[in-house]
Structure 1
Amino acid sequence: MNRLRISTDNAELDIALIHRFLAEESTWSRNIGRDRVERAIAHSLCFGAYLDGGQVGFARVISDRATFANLVDVFVLPQWRGRGISRALMGAVLAHPDLQGLRRFTLATSTSRGLYEKFGFTSPARPDTLMERYFPDIYAPSCQG
């Protein structure tokens, strides 16, 4: 594999690529608007994965950087999957100095449990204490307005 580089510099992110993937290929944010993606990136700790100068992966962490973090929008472009990029992204996320000593680090996934389990993520210890407001189709054209 070519030399993989992971950066947290938002200036390096390929916003068009990230938006295109999230809006068109992801199962979790289909039809999301570019302005919303840009706002989310601006208010998060983001990790870009790069090969030969081009972005091939992404992960975003929402956190107060003291007690809590939530991992979201993790992806590797389809043509680059199976090469260890997602493992490298996760390693960089969990090694980041601002994400150490957190009481709770969460994520939601329906497809990659095996990857996240390798990094210590498990089902909630006390699921009866967790609640959410969930609007899965919020980005659908009929729900915007």
Structure 2
Amino acid sequence: MNAVPPLAEGYEISADPARIDAGRVHRWLSTDAYWALGRERERQDRAIAASLNFGVYDSASGEQVAYARVVTDLATFAWLCDVYVDPAVRGKGIGTSLVAAVRDHLLPHGLRRILLATHDAHGVYEKVGFEALEEPDRWMALIFAKLGME
């Protein structure tokens, strides 16, 4: 695992749910994230409410510039999802620092694994220790839309 550089100067990471800008997160994800295009605001708000949320904020303005969400029981398993960095601040290592902070936040809980899915950001996640599944054929998914049940 490569060493993760510190968070870029002028930014801070927080898991305080009161700091999440839900409107901004919804706008980012529903209009610019391939996995959540068109996601309804009410659905996003429910996801935020039922998850462990992380934000990266500009230290001077307090403006949120990145987001990550974790679905977890805080005992055995976690799923990292909805990781998004505002295009205006990409290239500063903010995404890598955010994922490292999520990993470090979950470490004391003794989870067996943290899973995620990505189409194009493997390098970001590899920097903090994620790797491809050794036995992907053991994993299955139930897709409600394919069953006409969504």
**Is TM-score (shorter-chain normalized) higher than 0.5?**
yes
Q: Which amino acid aligns with 1:101?
A: G
Hey, what does 2:81 align to over in structure 1? 72
Hey, what does 1:107 align to over in structure 2? 116
Q: Deviations over 1:4-36 (max 9, x none)?
A: 111111111111100001111110011111111
Hey, what does 2:127 align to over in structure 1? 118
- CA apart distance, 1:100: 3.6
Going from structure 1 to structure 2, the CA distance change for 1:28 and 1:49 (only over 3 Å counts) comes to same
Going from structure 1 to structure 2, the CA distance change for 1:110 and 1:67 (only over 3 Å counts) comes to same
Q: Does 1:15 align with 2:22?
A: yes
Paired residues, what number? 139
Alignment of 1:83-98 (within 5 A): 83-97=92-106
Hey, what does 1:43 align to over in structure 2? 50
Contact 1:69–1:99 (Cα < 8 Å) also in 2: no
Q: Deviations over 1:117-140 (max 9, x none)?
A: 111111111111100124689xxx
Question: Unpaired segments of 5 or more residues in structure 2?
Answer: 1-7
- CA apart distance, 1:99: 5.9
Contact 1:67–1:103 (Cα < 8 Å) also in 2: yes
**Structure 1 CA distance, aligned partners of 2:108 and 2:142?**
25
SS at match of 1:124: coil
Hey, what does 1:140 align to over in structure 2? none
Q: Normalization by structure 1: what TM-score?
A: 0.88
Aligned Cα root-mean-square deviation (Å)? 2.0
Q: Deviations over 1:68-121 (max 9, x none)?
A: 000000010001000111111012101115764211210000010011111111
**Structure 2 CA distance, aligned partners of 1:17 and 1:135?**
28
Percentage of pairs with the same residue = 44
Structure with larger RCO (C-alpha < 8 A, sep 6+): 2
Hey, what does 1:128 align to over in structure 2? 137
User: Where do 4+ consecutive residues of structure 1 move more than 4 Å?
Assistant: none
- CA apart distance, 1:46: 0.4
Question: Unpaired segments of 5 or more residues in structure 1?
Answer: 138-142
Q: Normalization by structure 2: what TM-score?
A: 0.85
